[in-house]
Structure 1
Amino acid sequence: MNKRKRFLVLIALGAGLFSGFSQAKKIAASENDFYKTEMNNLHSAIESNFHDNASGYYFVDLDPAKRETKFGHKREYSWLWALCAMFEATNEIEKVDKKSHLVDNIFKSMQPYYDPAPPKPGYGEYIVKLSKGQRYYDDNQWIGITALDIYERNGKKSYLDLGKSMYDFMMTASDNALGGGLYWRENDFETKNTCSNGPGILVALKMYKALKDKKYLDNALRIYNWTNEKLQTPAGLFYDNIKVKDGTIGEAIFSYNTGTMLQSNVYLYEITGDKKYLERAVKIADSSLSYFYGGDKFRDGYWFNAVLLRGYQHLLKHNKDLKYISGFKKCLDHALKENKNEKGLFAAHDGVYNLVEHGGMLEILARFAYLEDHYKLAK
């Protein structure tokens, strides 16, 4: 074989090898983008099915018969909670797809819910001009958590200001009944709930991280200690609420309450360096894994589970054991296989889930899109 022919053969072999390598890379990329593809598909399905282009609002449920009537008004549009779910979900999408630019639009969608009433401005449960209702402390805390996460990510001061405003509003829920803690909703003094204390700790800790003002850490620790004393189960999970009148415990156990307290411990470990908080976080994670993910189906709603996933993902920074993510993944994969309908939305035994659950699933998929890109997840 002359030199020219040998050269051409080598080029051909090289081209074949490169083509094969490129194809292998494409297959690997496709396999690694499974959850990212599911994330993008669900986001498109939500925008197509829940977003009302005429009004600019989101629908609360696809089925008009399931849309709530309250205070004599038909509430066909989303309550604030669902937009809180979408706010966090789009924030997680932006971490995976930095060019998506979604959170600002969701934040704009929440502004019709803004209620500047004293003692501190906050967001109401529904569109104020259509049907003014109550203000829930936890709704505002979810907004604060996301806002401060966005600020930490991109440094946009308007989101720090939003986080501080949510902190100021939530602290109006504090008094000395039962020795401390935060109420669940404004002007309702019946219960103090883990769902308003757990996220309250997170808002205060994230404010401390942002500003290094000790009052935020002090208040976070006060709420943290109270919640552990009053609402933690013997197994390390968390009850739903405690009645102020007689101290009776509402013994329901939900994944999101465990999630906020798990993540609170991780933040406290990072801030203080005290290993007891990391040990507590691991204990909570172990208890929650067997309780919530011992089978192959989610025990409660998608959004509740999204909040627990936040804690698992945060814990990974300090505990590399993927068993918590793997247990969660088993339930997620079951839902993707069994619960998705022809519209790309997720159905349960009672029909199509509402917007808050779709926001929760969207956050879960965004977080798994990140995880599959940074960790080797079990098939």
Structure 2
Amino acid sequence: MIQSKILILWTVSFLMAMGCSSDPSVEDQMETPTEGQNPKPEEPSETLSYKEKAKETYDMIQELYAKGSLYKENYPEQSGEREYSYLWPYVGMLTAGNVLYELGYDQSILDKEFSGLEAYYDDRSNLPTYQAYPVSGGSTDHYYDDSAIVAMELIDAYENTGDNFYLERAKSVTEFIMSGEDSRLGGGLYWFEGESENCTSGPNCMKAANTSAYAAFVTSKMYQITNNTQYLTFAKRVYEWNYETLRDPSDNLYWNDINIGTEQINTTKWTYNAALMIMSGINLYEITDDQKFLNQSIETARSAYSKFTKVVNGRIFYQTNDPWFNVELLDAFIQLSEYDDKSNDYVAVFKDNVDYAWENARNSNGQFYEDWSGNSQGRYFWLLHQAALIEAYGRIALYEQS
């Protein structure tokens, strides 16, 4: 049984990522609002498959969060929120469309989500891409990490459907992503476009692990599809910059960012930064057959499991906040399991976590707590935290089918 496995405990301290910003799409991640008051649901009367749980979670989101062709940021509504969700949580629904399609559900779900995505597309003359909020609400900034996670879903949609629109749009967005790199501090990508030109100070004037890892993944994936060498050259350069600059050599995990003005490193570590470097390393190994990339992915996976798990109520849980970040790590472990048997054990713990969450960490509306151990409801109302469970159940269902 998973709960009987022996774990060497690490003390984990989770700090703020990225620093302060006036953009609410960033603040959603940072704030610690009042916990919800809804009671836990009744014990389910039937056992559902992971595939069915993914679809039931999707249906719950349609009932509570849908607003026209888009979604609300939270349910219930939180103070100061805008009419629609920001791009970051919306991308969780793009993933839902792709995963549900792969599971055999009707393509109309995928089509619906990607049609709604176009509300965020800023068709400007130079480097068009998706902005942080629907363009109908005015101009907002363009984030390199947001664009990268959109590009990942566009690539998946292309591979799922064969529709060339998704590939052409992914190419356009990837051009924007690549523009986020320059030679300051030796390379790497800025966090968002507004801080990418001549910034000299401030918490957001920095090069980030997440943007660089996402960029390495997207461009290596684009090389696999197009065989365009500019993508591979870029992917290897940015991957190596992240590995040499923001990797903690003591555990092969990744610090969050390095400030341009002070050259101070923000030593916070997040599950998704590890995840994207694992997945980028896998891509580069598959492309180059260079064993070092696979070895580096395996080393990071080992440390990520040790660092980001702890025992809660006698069971092993991944970190009890930011579930969408954690699901990125699940995806990485699933991809790595093709080459590393130990990663199957890491996936097994995720399976135990989502099984437990279904029974013990939902409210009467079917919304999942931020903490899958059930000890704290946290930011249960945020769309992204609910969308993460569609991906989690869906990825596990696909993993079990393979």
Matching of residue 290 in structure 1 with residue 306 in structure 2: yes
Aligned to 1:318: 339
Matching of residue 274 in structure 1 with residue 329 in structure 2: no
State the alpha-carbon separation in 1 of the partners of residues 109 and 253 from structure 2: 34
Summarize deviations over 1:166-185 as a string: whole Å, max 9, x none: 11111221111101111110
Aligned to 1:149: 156
Q: Segments of 4+ in structure 1 off by > 6 A?
A: none
Superposition pairs for residues 36-185 of structure 1, below 5 Å? 36-52=51-67, 55-68=68-81, 75-185=82-192
- Structure 1: segments with no counterpart, 5+ residues: 1-29, 69-74, 375-379
TM superposition shift of 1:126: 0.5
Over the residues paired in the alignment, what is the CA RMSD in angstroms?
1.7
TM superposition shift of 1:352: 2.5
Superposition pairs for residues 296-311 of structure 1, below 5 Å? 296-299=316-319, 300-311=321-332
Matched residue of 2:178: which SS?
A: helix
Letter in 1 for 2:73: V
Letter in 1 for 2:318: F
State the alpha-carbon separation in 1 of the partners of residues 106 and 211 from structure 2: 33
- Structure 2: segments with no counterpart, 5+ residues: 1-45, 197-204, 371-376
State the alpha-carbon separation in 2 of the partners of residues 261 and 287 from structure 1: 13
Aligned to 1:252: 268
State the alpha-carbon separation in 1 of the partners of residues 79 and 225 from structure 2: 41
Matching of residue 370 in structure 1 with residue 393 in structure 2: no
Q: Which has the larger share of helix? A: 1
Letter in 1 for 2:124: A
Aligned to 2:38: none
Matching of residue 191 in structure 1 with residue 201 in structure 2: no
Aligned to 1:327: 349
Change over 3 Å in CA distance of 1:341–1:310 after alignment to 2: same
The percent of aligned pairs where both chains have the same amino acid is: 29
Matched residue of 2:53: which SS?
A: helix
Change over 3 Å in CA distance of 1:237–1:208 after alignment to 2: same
Matched residue of 2:256: which SS?
A: strand
State the alpha-carbon separation in 1 of the partners of residues 378 and 301 from structure 2: 30
Change over 3 Å in CA distance of 1:107–1:334 after alignment to 2: same
Q: Normalising by the residue count of structure 1, what TM-score does the alignment of the two structures yield?
A: 0.84
TM superposition shift of 1:290: 1.2
Aligned to 2:239: 224
Q: Max radius of gyration: which structure?
A: 1
Q: Normalising by the residue count of structure 2, what TM-score does the alignment of the two structures yield?
A: 0.80
State the alpha-carbon separation in 1 of the partners of residues 107 and 113 from structure 2: 12
